[in-house]
Amino acid sequence: MSVATALIAFGMTIAGFAEVESRELGIPTRRGAKLVAKITRPAKGKPPYPALVIAPGRDFDMDHPAFDRISTLAVERGILVLRFNWDFHTQNRKRSPRFVNENQDLKTAIIYLRSLPSVNNQQIFVLGKSTGARVAAEVANRGEPLAGLILLTPPIHSPTDPDQERPMADFIREIKLPLLLIGADRDDFCSTDALKQLSKAVPSNPEVVIVTGDDLLECATDREAEQSAEQIAVAVADWISNQLSKTD
C-alpha cells in the first residue's frame, strides 16, 4: 500500500492535509505492519515546513505528557511534528532482535514525511527517547539524510556501573550530524557526568541539557514533572530553531 493510499484509507488526502491541524493515521511498513502515528502541522506559517519525528522509548506511548509538550511548542514555532508508536508497543510484544523492525519503523516515518509536499525534506529532525535514541542514532549513522538529531536519555551504560558502556555510547561517538543530548539527573542508564564526558568525543560538538527526573522522566511531584517536560520542550524547540537559523 502506498503512502497516498494509506492517507486516503484513514480519511485524509495530501491535497486536504493543509486543512487539518492534527490527525491520527496508520502508515504501512514494508513488512505489512501499520505504524500508529499522529501528525500535527503548524496553524500559521507557510509550507514547506521543517519537521520533527518523535521516536518514543520502549515503554512510552506517543501521547506521553513530555511528547505532548514537545509537540505543542514545536508546532507553535512553525515545525510540523510526526510522532508514532513502535509496532511492538502497539502489538504488546517484545522488540525485534537487533532492532531490525524498529529501524524500519523509524525509516518508514521519515519516508512518509518526505512524501508530503508540506514538508521541507532538507529540514527533517529526529528526536529519540531511550530505545528511540538508540534506533535514531543507528539510522542516522547508516546515512539517513537528516537536519539534526536529538537524543533524550540515551541508555549509554549499565544501570549499576557507569564505566560499563552499552553500544549506544559508540553510536553517539559516530554521529556527525548536529546533535542535542538531553539527560535526566537521576537516570541510572545515563548519568550526567558520563553523558557530558561522552559528548566531548562527538565530532559535531553537541549541546548537552540536563533536566530533572529518571530514565522514565518520572519526578518526585507532578509539578516537578511538568517543569521537566517544559524544560525539555523549550530545549528542543530552541535548538531546532537555532539549527534552522543557520540555513536561512
Cell, residue 234: 523549550
pTM of the model: 0.89
pLDDT of residue 126: 98
pLDDT of residue 216: 83
Q: Which overall architecture, per CATH, does domain 3-245 show?
A: 3-Layer(aba) Sandwich (3.40)
Give whichever of 61-65, 81-85, 88-92 has the largest mean pLDDT.
81-85
DSSP conformation letters of 42-102? -SSS-SSEEEEEEE--TT--TT-HHHHHHHHHHHHTT-EEEEE--HHHHTT-PPPGGGHHH
- Mean pLDDT confidence for 130-154: 95
In the chain, % of residues over pLDDT 90: 71
Q: Is the pLDDT of residue 235 over 80?
A: yes
Tally: H helices and E strands in the chain: 8, 8
Q: Where are the domains of the chain?
A: 3-245
Name residues whose C-beta falls within 8 Å of residue 89's C-beta, 6 or more positions apart in sequence: 56, 58, 59, 60, 61
Angle formed at CA 155 by CA 154 and CA 158, multiple of 5 degrees: 155
Letter string b/e over residues 42-57, b meaning 16 or more CB atoms within 10 A of that residue's CB: beeeeeebbbbbbbbb
pLDDT of residue 89: 66
d(CA 175, CA 126): 13
3 state DSSP class of 118: coil
Give the pLDDT band of residue 215 (cuts 50, 70, 90).
confident
What pLDDT, in 10s, does the model give residues 145-181? 999 999 999 999 999 999 999 999 999 999 999 999 9
Give the pLDDT band of residue 19 (cuts 50, 70, 90).
very low
**Picking from 42-46, 58-62, 124-128, 210-214, which range would have the lowest pLDDT averaged per residue?**
58-62
